[in-house]
Chains A and B, each alone.
Chain A
Amino acid sequence: MYRIKSGGLINRNKELNFSFNGKNFVGYEGDTLSSALLGNGIHLVGRSFKYHRPRGIFSSGSEEPSALVQLEEKNFTEPNIRATTVKLYDGLVSNSQNHVGSLSWDFMRINDYLSTFLSAGFYYKTFMWPKAFWEKVYEPIIRNAAGLGKLSKESDPSKYDKGYLHCDLLVIGAGPAGLYSALIAARTGAKIIVVDEDFILGGSFNGENININDNICSDWVKSILSELNSLKNVRLMSSTTLYGSFDHGIYGALEVKSYNSKNTITKPRHILWKIYSKFSVLCTGALERSILFENNDLPGIMLSKSVRHYCNRWGVIPGNNISIYTNNDDGWETAKDLKKAGCNVVCIIDQRSNIKPPIENIDHILGRNIVKAKGNLRISSIKLDNGRIINTDCLAVSGGYNPNLHLTCHQRGKPKWNEVNHCFVPHNPPKTMEVIGAANGLFNHEEMFNDSKIKLTKILRNLGFRKIAVEKVNISKKVYQISPFPKKIPEGKIWVDLQNDVTVKDIKLAVHEGFHSVELLKRYTTLGMATDQGKNSNVLGLSVLSLIKNKTMHEVGTTIFRPPFTPVPIGAFAGRSRGKHFKPFRLTPSHNWAKSNNAVFVEAGNWLRAQWYPIKGEKTWRESVDREVIQTRNNVGICDVTTLGKIDIKGKDSGAFLNFVYANNFGKLPVGKVRYGLMLRDDGIAFDDGTTARFSENHFVMTTTTANAVTVFRHLEFCKQCLKPDWDVHLISTTDHWAQFAIAGPKSRKLLQEICDPKIDISNDKFPFMACAKITVLEGIPARLFRISFSGELAYEIAVPRRYADFFVKKISEIGKKYSLVPYGTEALGVMRIEKGHAAGNELNGQTTAHNLGLGKMVSKLNDCVGNTMSERDELNKDDALKLVGFIPTNKKQQLVAGSHFIEKGQIANLENDQGWMSSVAFSPMLNHSIGLGYIKRGNQRYGEKVNAVNPLKNEITEVEIHSPHFYDPEGELLRG
């Protein structure tokens, strides 16, 4: 019988069913998975990482190195869950990890007998040769052996979420120091948040059997929690681990809502919190460490405080004959509580000889060490240094306490060694953090409460809270005295790190081989790595290193603590940003209309744009695109071009501003006209292009490419605010406010005339090429009309306020039927601009200049504008510079490939002979063969010459003829007609 009849914080009336390795068990509400397992007499829960030695439950908290289980099944499964942190629920399914065969008879145990060969650096030394073996033999073996649990390799169906919180004071840890601090702060009215990783707040006081204000300490916890719960300025967060401390008082926290797969599809499994605090107090307490002796990793050997807490909090006695091994006073507390609970305490062995037993009526042996533990799958006996053998089925070990100072180090705080309590204590914590109680190395409750009082008063005053009332606390003074680490390293198979199977021998070997520093030691031996990050093992390992190196603990120092404090699942970082929600989509104003026209959509930046519109009978995308091009060029087509960036520019100096940001002149652009503009970077490289229309003396409307809409706007803001702060210029992005459509083709004017309100004349005389005007359409809808053409046809772009877009596009398609109006997508748009030789994103790739684009003459020589001086750099204006030209395959049946490089015929395809590259290709339905645009040296002087377009990826060489970039209507008669 392992469960005592009464007491503790469990509800014996509420039974919970769970399974471990396929067997069903019963636990109680308030149990963790580990307390429920121990309550059923189960110690053996896993196998160690390297040697596959049996592993039991070692602790009762998040520091657990051994009791790692595979929780839940199928796609819900998660490996390496610490059984000590899982709140038991009905229907929990758990399995042990890392064994071949059954848990009690693991085939891989053979590694333990081969351990002489598997010491530190085994991989590095063994898998060196032959080199060819690495990929085929060694790596698969290592990968197969590595890791403890298994992933489902399926998508995780659970939900995860994120949240953001703000507070005056963040209290980290809800043990006695945390709750007391929280109470003092809460009564001032300060906005406070209290977080604790446990699912019940109270920290160690939930597992201790001590009196405070003449009551049991867990009752004191309840009374404080009930007051805190009643206050609106307090937020209590249980099951929430603060995993990282970041700059300016920002903290990351993980709240575990549920592990139960029955809940986690509908409600979040974990929530990742970002907490912004003005100040924080770290009240995270301290963790116990083990003691070194042979076979100290056997199941049944546990931390002393954990044994005490299993007994007091969960009513579980983890053995029938328990012994205690300690070097400090705290071990005796365990003996006292176990005895009180009716457990048979065999004896307590204290390393210290010159002490008066703090507790009477317990068999004790002073001044002795345990040299070896024995047992197969569970400890059965211990042997002392005087040869005496003691039979025991559970050993509670207390090697002293290590403050939980991790969060003080995330911004490079470096702990100091304390010679009195023999532990590292915080040093240089973040500026807005104070460390209180055991986390600061104070292991005495009375001192801890005083410490809280003094520090909180000061913190709250600095935060501006003056009315501070302090609660009185009466608690018996607890002595904590500890012996230093032994001066001699014990011999035999002694475990330092239970999780990574690092022994004393491995540390000796690593130092022998030259890995002297703690950081190197960690990486070479894996000491303190993996899920527990050495919470138990680090200081023990450092004590061995300090002995070997004959240096003090302070000189040895610690490795750098980094976030996270405990593991955070990737799912929590992803939150809701999964699959389609990874980033937001922007829909064009005509999206629904396009959808009803059977459009195929493509992602263009954040936008979903119609790529083409297949109709019945079309089997390939090319058929659709060819039809759209031909129908537009013969009749009329419509395309949503809202995604182009639109920037409204107003103010007295707008003209001068445009002159400054564009490379070509805009100041003299007449009202009612549009001009093509090329924008350069200050270093002379082409940045973006588009058109800008002048609607009045001081009002311009600029368009940018879709891709650069954001960067151009930001660049203009920079130019305005930082370079020309005195100019009267106002910018606003109106991309989303105006829906804009291109209407292109010989019948576009006739169609538009029908929708324009009666008095508006758009004849060629009144509204010639490059004209613009504010008009109304379809009985009063305000619109902006531009006579510009990307396709090379007689064409217009018309913008209407977004709210009219759906109506507008439906109406115009209805009216357009008699002109055979066709909707065209981005593919047809691309084909037509390549046929016309217009540059786009492929050509403006951040490497090319106005000179390369054939637009060198546009660049203003008179004004000072961004980039014009630097565009005249010699290097950018050499005679053999790249020029944008067209290409056609000699064999017209061949397809061109974008990205191909141009090599002179007969020359080898290498970097030296590289003449340029193909930037855009398309099949031209008008010419009935493939065409391309690209950059080639002196291209504008080489029309008619033949070169090879080389595609080394597919080993293809295509002979191409250099051509003018204008394949279609080179004189531009159509667009002016």
Chain B
Amino acid sequence: MFIINCPYCGEREQSEFKAGGEAHIVRPKQPTELSDDEWAEYLFMRKNIKGVQFERWVHTHGCRKWFNVVRDTSNDVIKAVYKMGEKPPTK
């Protein structure tokens, strides 16, 4: 139970959003040229760390926009939010 600051709508209750897993997973540009291991890495391998994690969220019951969230998984403190395509904050 926490609050997410949607970069398009502002602060909203978590229940309006849906988590979409790790952020900055780039879909392969040449899918046919990938080895099985590279595909497995893209499809299945995700970080699930205790601490600061970069995640994708979508404002499902709101503007329907996907965006990125930097969240500390140990205490749900949200360090930053930024739009798709923007560079992650360095600090």
Binding site for B on A (CB under 8 A): 246-248, 250, 276, 411, 682-683, 714, 717-718, 721-723, 725, 864, 868-870
Contacts and interface: CB of A to CB of B under 8 A. Distances in A.
B29 to A, nearest CB: 9
A316 to B, nearest CB: 42
Contacts of B60: 714
B82 interface: no
A718 B43 contact: no
Given A247-B76, A722-B56, A869 B39 contact: yes
Contacts of B31: 864, 868-869
Contacts of B85: 725
A798 to B, nearest CB: 29
Given A718-B20, A722-B56, A870-B39, A248 B76 contact: yes
B80 interface: no
A575 B75 CA distance: 29
Contact of B32 (A248, A717, A869): A869
Given A717-B58, A717-B66, A869-B32, A722 B43 contact: no
Interface string B2-20: 1100000000010000101
A351 B35 CA distance: 79
Contacts of A864: 31-32
A682 B84 contact: no
Interface string B61-81: 000111000000001100000
B43 A870 contact: yes
Given A683-B44, A722-B84, A725-B85, 7 more contacts: A248-B3, A276-B13, A682-B43, A717-B58, A718-B58, A864-B31, A868-B31
B66 to A, nearest CB: 4
Given A723-B27, A869-B39, A717 B1 contact: no
Contact of A246 (B1, B34, B65): B1
A922 B85 CA distance: 50
B40 to A, nearest CB: 10
28 contacts: A246-B1, A246-B2, A247-B2, A247-B3, A248-B2, A248-B3, A248-B76, A250-B2, A276-B13, A411-B75, A682-B43, A683-B44, A714-B58, A717-B58, A717-B66, A718-B58, A721-B84, A722-B66, A723-B27, A725-B85, A864-B31, A864-B32, A868-B31, A869-B31, A869-B32, A869-B34, A870-B39, A870-B43
B2 A717 contact: no
Given A869-B31, A869-B39, A721 B3 contact: no
Contacts of B1: 246-248, 250
Contacts of B84: 721-722, 725
Nearest to A721: B66
A902 B1 CA distance: 47
Contacts of B13: 276
Nearest to B20: A718
A714 B66 CA distance: 10
Contacts of A683: 43-44
Contacts of B66: 717-718, 721-722
Contacts of B3: 247-248, 250, 276
Given A864-B31, A869-B32, A721 B2 contact: no
B46 to A, nearest CB: 13
Contacts of A714: 18, 58, 60
B79 to A, nearest CB: 13
A642 to B, nearest CB: 22
Contacts of A411: 75
Nearest to B64: A717
A868 B84 CA distance: 25
Contacts of A246: 1-2
Pairs A-B, 10 closest by C-beta atoms: A247-B2, A248-B2, A721-B66, A869-B31, A246-B1, A247-B76, A248-B3, A864-B31, A723-B27, A722-B66
B74 to A, nearest CB: 9
B10 to A, nearest CB: 13
A870 to B, nearest CB: 7
Contacts of A869: 31-32, 34, 39
Nearest to A276: B3
A250 B27 CA distance: 37
Nearest to B39: A870
A411 B76 CA distance: 10
Interface string B37-63: 001000110000000000010101000
Contacts of A248: 1-3, 76
A870 B13 CA distance: 37
Contacts of A718: 20, 58, 66
Nearest to B34: A869
A21 B12 CA distance: 50
A276 B66 CA distance: 25
B32 A721 contact: no
A682 B60 CA distance: 21
A683 B2 CA distance: 32
Nearest to A164: B13
Nearest to B56: A722
Nearest to B44: A683
A722 B26 CA distance: 9
Contacts of B56: 722
